[in-house]
Amino acid sequence: MDQIEKANVNNIHLPTEVIPDPGANIVLGHGLDYKTVTDRIGGIVVLPWKNSPKKWLVGAFISFCFVNLLMLAVYLLFTKGVGIWGLNIPVAWGFAIINFVWWIGIGHAGTLISAVLFLVKQDWRTSINRFSEAMTLFAVACAGMFPILHLGRPWLFYWLLPYPNSMWLWPQPRSPLEWDVFAVSTYGTVSLVFWYVGLLPDLASLRDTAPYLWQRKIYAILSLGWRGSAIHWHRYQKAYLLLAGLATPLVLSVHTIVSFDFAVSQLPGWHTTIFPPYFVAGAVYSGFAMVLTLVIPLRAWYNMRDLITLRTIEAAAKLMLGVGLIVAYGYGMEAFFAWYSGDKYESFMYWNRMTGPYGFMYWLLILCNIAIPQLLWSQKVRHNLGLVWTISIVINIGMWLERFEIVVTSLHRDFLPSSWGMYIPTKWDIATYAGTLGFFMLLIFLFVRALPSISIFEVREQVHHDLQHENKPAVEEHA
Amino acid sequence: MAQLFRPSSNTIAKVSIVAVVLLASSTIGVAYMIDRGSWITNVQVAPEQPIAFSHKHHVKDDGIDCRYCHTSVETSHFAGVPPTETCMSCHSQIWNNVTATQPIRDSWASGKSIAWNRVHNLPDYVYFNHSIHVNKGIGCSSCHGNVAEMPLIYKVNTLNMNWCINCHRNPAQYIRPRAEIFNVAYQYPDNQAELGAKLVKEYHVQSLLDCATCHR
Amino acid sequence: MKDHSPSHPNGNMNEHDKTTASALVPLESLLETPHKKVDLAELREKLAAGRGPAFWRTLDEAAESEHLKEYVEQEFPGLSGQIPQGVDRRNLLKVMGASLAMAGAAGCTKLPLESIVPYVRQPENIVPGLPMFYATAITNAGYAKGVLVESHFNRPTKVEGNPDHPASLGSTTIFEQASILNLYDPDRSETVLQRGGLSTWGQFTGAASLEAQSVGSRQGEGLAILTGLTTSPTFISQMNALLAQWPKAKWYTHEPSANPAVRSAAKKIAGRPAYVDYDFSQADVIVSLESDFLNAGPASLKNARQFAAKRGIDNGQTPVRYYAVESSPSVSGSLADHRFSVKSSAIPAMAYQLAKALGVASPDLAGTAPDWLAKVAEDLSSHKSRCLVIPGEYQPESVHLAAYAINAALGNVGTTVRLLESYIPETSSLEDLTSDLNNGHVEMLVIIEANPVYSAPASLNFEAAIRKARLVVRLGQHFDETSRWSHWHVPSVHYLETWTDARAFDGTVTILQPLVEPLYRGKSPHEMLSVLLGKPDATPHDIVKAYWQSTNPNGFDAFWKTSLHNGVVAGTAAAVLNAGGPVTLPALTPLESSEWEVTFQPDPTVGDGSWANNGWLQELPKPQTKTTWDNLIFVRPSDAEKMGLHNGDLLKVTVKDRSVTGPVWVTPNQAQGSVRIFFGYGRTASGRVGNKIGYSAYAIQDASLPYIAPATIAKVPGRYEIANTQATQSMEEREPVRAAEFAEFKEHPNFPTLEEKPVPKELSLYPESQWTYPNHKWGMTIDLNICTGCSACAIACQAENNIAVVGKDQVARGRHMHWIRIDQYYSGNGTLDEPVSYNQPVPCMHCENAPCEVVCPVGATVHSNEGINQMVYNRCVGTRYCSNNCPYKVRRFNFYLYSDWETESLKGMRNPDVTVRSRGVMEKCSYCIQRIQEVKIKAEKEDNRKIVDGEIITACQQACPTQAITFGDLNDPQSKVAQMAALKRNYSLLDDLNNRPRTTYLGNVRNSNEALRGQRGSNREG
Amino acid sequence: MSHAVSTKRYEGLYGALVEFDTPEDLLDACDKAYAEGFRKMDAFAPMPVDGLAEAIGYKKNKVALCVLIGGITGMCFGFGLLQWISQVAYPLNVGGRPLNSWPAFIPITFECMILFSALTSMISMLAMNGLPRPYHALFNVPAFERASVDKFFLLIESQDPKFEPDQTVDFLKTLGGNEVNFVPE
């Protein structure tokens, strides 16, 4: 048996030398054929440990430590109560909701990239859609934690679900929080479905290329016996198209509904009609930022510069810049209407947001979300991956600050001056947030090691497409 | 090593899908059965009592009225638990030397009263008022069942909220003439529909579904 | 699924009530369990570990220790032992119900039932489950305020005012409300101690009677008895008997919060001990010379009621005009039409100048009168016999004399001013005692209740003097500072535990009756005296009854019954004395001039320190400053600016050579060059709650200048965190409080809603509300014109609704739990130094379009068919969205398990009709839904009768001294609340949000003097 | 798909399989085979190839219809549920809003619609494709491993009326593929 397995291992060829980036004009590097892309992408997953970079171990370990921090924080939370956070009256929502919105926002890139860009036939999406879908799932998992954690009595979260109970009581469907329950769970489920459907053919490839029998068995079960029949492919593509078509309005609805948590309320700073589009834009913004934050190191670590080329990264950067401008417009409108509405609460709220105790955060967020990203206008910057990566981090921070501004500054000084207060996060606020970051990263690390982080069959299509345009049969390349 | 599984695996695969669905639904089903079952609700469970007091004997055989012991049922939210004196008023004369009634005499002598175990118990945040129900034509047996047939007292109803709501929704189907309140063997007449409606009007019974009716 | 109880101790809701867990057990044996003595000192240490109400929680944790179990066992005899584990709060009470049903039977009951007379409802025999009300009284500085105490299953749970009592009229101050918590205070001492070691009452009486013999052999020489002020006829007669028996024994009194100048002045005026009573119902113009007449003193509740009536404007009358001259913002001052900040030390001169201006012969003074004084004088003289000048409680004799002289000159004596006979006995003072001690004249010192070691002016150095006595006996509720220096400590009783009697300010007697046997087997002052008199076995009941029997020999039983029933003894009101000769004003001896003066006053919430261990009072935001848990040093903003002081900076105040350091509170309306410090803090042996907070003002008090003294102040490095509940006191153009001049009001009676434009209804997605409220439509109005901000409503609400104490740290984090808060705003006309201040109580508004309800995902807060915004604790999962969306921020959240689920005593104290909230649930004002339901059920049972207006009274409404709060059915046009709501000056808070609040406000109207227009609150130094 | 056909013409033989290197070759092989009159056949590729299904005579694709039905069901379920909860199950006065606050019910209705249709799209696709199917005769052919990597296959099933082992293999050899294999049952 093990000779066979050794043979299998040797049958998978990974390039030994570092492959350079083929530049910003092509989606895939040259010299790739069906077999090599399978080996290159699948190999990362199925080959033994020695073939994966040490960085992986270090990163995974660090993330794991943060997961433990998260568990500690949650343990305290459940035993002592939400009092361990900096919450109070008036500021009854803090980090938990901020992080929830932030994570959900990040969770938007995946579906957007795979669905929307798929519908508008953006070929460069091929190389990052699988990865960003995974990222979406993990982000949604982190996001989904918070609404439950932030409950005063989290063990009763299931009261938000409509099920026949001995109290004969039901959820209250006018509450945006109830809408969230459906929106987030639907989004999670659909993203999972979309992701899994996308994985099916690749799982089959792994089943047929994995060196070890146990691997093959696992992937065989996961791939449900996919064998690439033409008719299957036909139905498959239809289903995938429909899923994309469904995911697109869904992704818009989800953050719209999240924005309703605020927009439906009475609070100056929350009660804002521009929120839905402005939240969606913000979500996409942070989503792309997070994708770039992760993809740039990923392709370097796994020597995949020719699979995820500058073309992709630049396109993503451009898109990010565009969405960033929409977000900027959102801020502008918010400020404008605060003034134009003539509403004393609204205008005070915005003035307080800019000049009040949390003013510095407002200006920091303007810097992060509007000023700095303008650098992306220059192609030089876009081609400097170090810079793009830094900017994407900056945007992630900025988007978090935006949510902080929305949640906290609106609450801490609302209608009656007598009940004004301040919100100062405690170490457990921060620990919980950091913990979910760790959880997210750990999932990412496990993912790249367990599943193909690029859609192999779509890359094959791309290869096929490229070959046709070079009018050369792939075999000769191979020989 | 082309073939990884035996042909049977196809059936297994398809069956397992069905199995998972069935398993999930049956777990939920079981959960519900437990939740509604007597292990949770204590329905039909007669707890151990310091004295083997038989409502059957006292109510049915001796024909003692509920209010003889549960004195404040018409005036207070709390129906009242009889003091030892109430027991002694008879058992100083009859059965005054059998072991069954020894605890009464002990209590009488020592001044330490008898620690009964609660059978009908509501959570702290539920404010049930006996007097208003009794005054509005809801009989004892509507909630407590026919105690005249209970050697040891036990719950016949879950006292779950949906059980309460059921009557609060439509009192007419459970209301009875005030004269029959303490008739634990009361049978609802065939014309309960119109009788109920009539009594509801007569006793000004409202269908109170506000939370604050019971939760304060 | 099973409902999960929010009222489950450890917050883990998943257990359902196993029926077998709890059982019905008798109570009558509660006080008869044998007790194993435990080492209390050790326990104290253990328990003292957790200071502040944190202890209410830390106690649970500590409860693991066997020791503590014993301790609890001792404190609440039986409760911990008799109740099986797992018994829940309400069952505990049912238990008591059961035992009560039993009471008549077994005949062994812990209450002397034969002699207690239910007040409001008098059932043939106690009905288990129904509360009963008993009339009694609470004394403060000797004077009684009549109260009705609600008792559930023999546990006093709530104190209300006694409408028939002249000093209550049905209202209460914060202290009556909070006194219930003192009864259950686990820190009360529970055993007789000799030199700190455990002893027994028997051993004490033995020792005491031996002493008594030797004392008797010397005709009482060397026997000194120190008490607080008292008006108790029985006690006084006992003392007289004792002094008659032992002529050489001496009686001293010590009452830190009672200014002796008041009595000495009255004596000079009347030529005999007297009490000067003021009748505000007659006064059209009031000048207060630093008097807090609406909030302080034995007659404050009567004053408040009369003042509120005179301030009424809705029946076309012209309201009273009230000038306040004071050095520091007072509760009463917040209602003044003109408020003048003047150094306390300048007020005597001011009084003399006013006297002069009104033609009273008074010694010449240097300095000129401020010109507003002339205007005020004019106003007074144009209201002869319909006006009133009130001297400040803590002003020297001269001011009291001057005030009386002015009133006499204005012909007010007989209309607004009466001289009443005083019943405060003439005794020696603490100064005398100190010198007698130091001169070795005192051999045996018996201290009853008073706590001089803590509260004596530092200049006396009493702590040194007390050691000179050979034997010190202390009767006190706590093992406190004084007990530490006593050879014998005997636990004293709470007023709800014993028989005694006391007089109101006007002499009316109330016979105090107990509602429970002494929880800690404490002894009453009567017993202490009778021990000295050689009758150690006499019970308070016998003593008091015997006294009254001697005064009313015939028809005694009827007399006794009715007196107890009514809470007042008929025909005991004091006779009106006719004035003595004309008052001559003595020449003023001004204080040595210094840049700064310091004024001393009892803390607004913990008084002279005797309330320091009361968590409710500690956490009650103090009027004006809204600070909690500390005593502060008030400094005028401009002074603070000059010295670079900010809130929380430390300031060192030095009088003579003594100084204290405390946190600064920059306080508008504080007089320039004057700082105000407060008694009541800096205690070292009050108990876990009150120990080691704040500074002790007594530490710099000088017996010769007790309340106003020249001082030097200096900023010292360091800061101190102050927990206050209202950070912003300016209205920020939101006008939550709407005020007008009386002239404006006459022009626009609807001034509060003048600028308001109607809310465009078509903006809603929904049709006009389809919800009608046919049966009842509960609503509330709050009259800002007469709200003094005294905060009695807040405490009453806390007591009624089982509101938890959260502790300084949590308050500082913005997590206080009061369901009704009193917002205090400063409004601009005037400088930062001299703003006008407004009070605004804010409970839940019960909006018809409640924004909180729409956003709750589980429907834990919804509307009742009577329009009440219900909060269902047991359904709440704690998203806190409702609070975010509440524009009034009246919702409170249990961020931790704030309610104490373990301490047995507190279970006994709680209102069984209100769910005790658990961790993680929202709570808020319910319009006292339990009271509404109780009355509704009652009315329905009484053949579905209509509910009478005023039959349902909310706790806040019931307590309010000025009756500013009205609650009732808006559907009934005859109801008071409907009429209030119909008034033109009625407005709703944040009306433009279209939430349609059911709680509405009545605009504030000030009747200021044309001649002084614009000078209201202007800074005029005397 | 199902191999439970009553009349098995060649016991133990599922069909014959020919391998190609490029989708193009496979495509015209399919056309040829179809022209030859074969009907029971299938083509396999490691990625979707345009027109391949059509080339072997596949016409109707019912996935879309199922999704439509699923979506409508979801929508009705969602809206129905909310209406029932707020008007029938326990009608409550929530902040003075009407019992039928339909605008507030839209979001959940929409989410339910999406959820149901998304699930049906996957389930219907798998069901029609007869997946999961871990065992398949084709996996007996070692070469078929590469069907999911870089090779393209044409299969003529033994069930095809025109299937005669030797001729069919000969025919397949003419298609210019790499190698031809029998597929054992």
Q: Residue C907's pLDDT is what?
A: 79
Q: Are residues C411 and C295 in the same domain?
A: yes
Q: Is pLDDT at C81 greater than 80 in this prediction?
A: no
Q: How far apart are CA D9 and CA C743, in angstroms?
A: 112
**What is the average pLDDT score of chain A?**
90
Predicted confidence at residue C82, as pLDDT, reads 32
pLDDT at A379: 92
Nearest residue of C to residue B160, measured between CA atoms: C2
Give the count of domains, chain C: 5
Cα C1002–chain centre separation: 26
Q: Which of A62-66, A179-183, C516-520 has the lowest mean pLDDT?
A: C516-520
Nearest-by-Cβ selection for B40 from C16, C101, C868:
C16
Indicate yes or no: CB of B155 within 8 angstroms of CB of C19: yes
Q: Which amino acid is at C934?
A: E
Question: pLDDT per residue over C8-60, tens digit each?
Answer: 333 333 333 333 333 333 333 333 333 333 344 444 444 444 332 322 323 33
The CATH number of the domain holding residue C403 is 3.40.228.10
Q: How confident is the model at residue A322 (pLDDT cuts 50, 70, 90)?
A: very high
What lies within 8 Å, CB to CB, of C998 at 6+ separation is: C777, C778, C779, C780, C845, C846, C847, C848, C867, C970
Cis peptide bond N-terminal to A90, omega within 30: yes
What does the pLDDT look like over A379-428, one tens digit per residue? 999 999 999 999 999 999 999 999 999 999 999 999 999 999 999 999 99
Q: For residue A210, is pLDDT > 60?
A: yes
CA D155 to CA D175: how far, in whole Å? 12
Pick from A266, A349, A351 the residue to mutate for testing the C interface (most C CBs within 10 Å). A266
pLDDT on residue C593? 81
Task: Tell me the residue range of the domain where C657 lies.
Answer: 596-724
| A-B contacts (CB, under 8 Å) | 27
pLDDT tens-digit profile of A360-389?
Answer: 999 999 999 999 999 999 999 999 999 999
* Strand partners of residue D41: D156
Instruction: Give the tokens for residue C237.
Output: 């007669």
- Is B19 buried (19+), middle (13-18) or exposed (0-12) by CB count in 10 A? exposed
Evaluate if residue C96 carries a pLDDT over 50.
no
Strand-pair category, C338-341 with C739-741 = unpaired
- Residue B5, pLDDT > 70, answer yes
Interface contact flag, D21 A473, Cβ < 8 Å: yes
Q: Any chain D CB within 8 A of the CB of C770?
A: yes
pLDDT tens string C675-708: 999 999 999 998 889 888 999 999 999 998 899 9
CATH code of C638's domain: 2.40.40.20
Residues C181 and C310 occupy one common structural domain:
no
- pTM for this structure? 0.89
Q: pLDDT (tens digit, 9 = 90+) per residue, D122-139?
A: 999 999 998 899 899 899
Average pLDDT over residues C484-502: 92
Query: Between residues 223 and 282 of chain A, which touch chain B (CB distance below 8 Å)?
Result: 224-225
**CATH number belonging to domain D13-58+136-184:** 3.30.70
Peptide bond into D132 cis (omega under 30): yes
User: Is there a contact between C784 and C1018 (Cβ–Cβ < 8 Å)?
Assistant: no
Residue C830 — pLDDT band, cuts 50, 70, 90? Answer: low
Percent of chain D with pLDDT over 70: 95
| A 117-146 → B contacts, CB under 8 A | none
Share of chain C above pLDDT 70, in %: 86
Confidence (pLDDT) at C161: 93
Amino acid at C154: N
Whether chain D has a CB inside 8 Å of the CB on C851: the answer is yes
Residue of C2, C784, C855 for testing the chain A interface, max A β-carbons within 10 Å: C855
CB contact under 8 A, A193 and D89: no
- Band the pLDDT of A1: cuts 50, 70, 90: low
Range with the poorest average pLDDT among C366-375, C695-704, C972-981: C366-375
Closest CB from D52, D105, D131 relative to A230: D52
Interface pTM (ipTM) of the complex? 0.92
Give the one of B5, B17, B165 whose C-beta lies nearest to D135's C-beta.
B5
pLDDT band at residue B95, thresholds of 50, 70 and 90? confident
Report residue C560: phi and psi, to 5°: -60, -50
Measuring CA to CA, how many Å separate A145 from each of A100, A411, A425? 8, 23, 19
Query: Band of the pLDDT at D8, cuts 50, 70, 90?
Result: low
CA gap C799, C159 in Å, rounded: 8
Average pLDDT, chain C: 83
Q: Which chains touch A (3 or more CB pairs under 8 A)?
A: B, C, D
For the cut 70, the answer to whether the pLDDT of residue A176 exceeds it is: yes
Which residues of chain C make contact with D102, given a CB cutoff of 8 A? none
Q: One-letter amino acid identity for D4?
A: A
Question: At C223, phi and psi to the nearest 5?
Answer: -95, 120
CB contact under 8 A, A207 and D148: yes
CA distance C927 to A137: 47
Reported as a pLDDT band with limits 50, 70 and 90, residue A20 is: confident
- Binning pLDDT at 50, 70 and 90, where does residue C648 land? very high
- Angle between the A176-209 and A95-111 helix axes, to the nearest 10 degrees? 50
Arithmetic mean of pLDDT, C229-249: 93
> How is residue A109 written in tokens?
């890139």
Residue D90: list chain B partners with CB under 8 A. Answer: 165, 209
Q: How confident is the model at residue C126 (pLDDT cuts 50, 70, 90)?
A: low
Residue of C665, C637, C643, C1004 lying closest to C831 (CA atoms): C637
Q: Give which of C972, C998, C960 is closest to C870, Cα–Cα.
A: C998
Identify whether C432 is part of a domain.
yes
Pick A266's closest partner by Cβ from C859, C876, C887. C887
Interface partners of D (3+ CB pairs, < 8 Å)?
A: A, B, C
pLDDT above 60 for A476: no
Alpha helical stretches, state H, C143-295: 174-183, 201-217, 233-245, 260-270
- Between C1007 and C733, the more confident residue is C1007
Strand runs labelled E in C935-976: 965-969
User: Which residue in the set C16, C99, C874 is minimally distant from B113, CB to CB?
Assistant: C99
Gap between the Cα atoms of C7 and C11, Å rounded: 7
Give the domain range for residue A107: 2-8+17-478
Q: What is the DSSP letter of C128?
A: T
Q: Which CA distances in Å does C294 have to C148, C258, C322, C324, C385?
A: 21, 16, 12, 12, 21
Which residue in chain D is spatially nearest to A39 when comparing CA positions?
A: D149
Q: How far B11 CA sits from the closest chain D CA (Å)?
A: 8
A348 touches chain C (CB under 8 A): yes
Give the pLDDT score at B83: 78
Residue C1014 lies inside a defined structural domain of this protein: no
Same domain for C895 and C746:
yes
Binning chain A into helix, strand and coil, the percentages to the nearest 5 are 75, 0, 25
Q: Which of B1, B36, B158 sits opposite A213 (nearest CB)?
A: B1
Q: Are residues C321 and C207 in the same domain?
A: no
Q: Has residue C585 been placed in a domain?
A: no
Q: Which two tokens stand for residue D135?
A: 């065992």
Split at pLDDT 50, 70, 90, the class of A471 is low
Query: Residue A149 maps to which CATH number?
Result: 1.20.1630.10
C932 contacts in chain B (CB < 8 Å): 212
Q: Using the 8-state DSSP alphabet, how is residue A114 labeled?
A: I
Residue C562 lies in a domain: no
- pLDDT value, residue A52: 74
Residue A96 pLDDT grade (very low, low, confident, very high; cuts 50, 70, 90): very high
Q: How many domains, in total, are found in chain A? A: 1
User: Is the pLDDT assigned to residue C833 strictly greater than 90?
Assistant: no
In the predicted model, what is the mean pLDDT of residues B28-39? 86
Helix axes A176-209, D102-128, angle to 10 degrees: 10
Task: Give the residues across from C999 on adjacent strands.
Answer: C780
A407 Cβ neighbours under 8 A, 6+ residues apart? A93, A94, A97, A98, A101, A262
- Annotated domain spans of chain D: 13-58+136-184, 63-128
Of D90, D134, D141, the CB nearest to B9: D134
* H helix or E strand, kind and range, residue C870: strand C869-871
Q: Which residues of C touch B82 (CB under 8 A)?
A: 101
The predicted model gives B25-31 an average pLDDT of: 93
Percent helix / strand / coil, chain B, rounded to 5: 50, 0, 45
Kindly report the three-state secondary structure assignment for every residue of C463-496.
HHHHHHCCEEEEEECCCCHHHHCCCEEEEECCCC
Q: How far apart are CA A426 and CA A374, in angstroms?
A: 34
For residue range B98-146, what is the model confidence (pLDDT) as tens digits?
A: 888 888 888 888 877 777 888 888 888 899 999 999 999 999 999 999 9
CB contact under 8 A, C736 and A418: yes
Please tell me which residue of chain B has the smallest CA distance to D2: B10
Which of C562, C457, C454 lies closest to C511, judged by CA? C562
> DSSP letter string over C688-720?
TTTBT-S--GGGG-BTTBSSEEEEEEEEEEEE-
CB-based contact C923:C30 (threshold 8 Å): no
Q: Is residue C249 over pLDDT 60?
A: yes
For residue B162, the chain A residues in CB contact (below 8 A) are 165-168
Residue B211, chain A, CB below 8 Å: the answer is no
List C-alpha distances in Å: D155 to A454, D147, D176: 30, 12, 14
Across A83-97, B110-124, C963-977, least confident range? B110-124
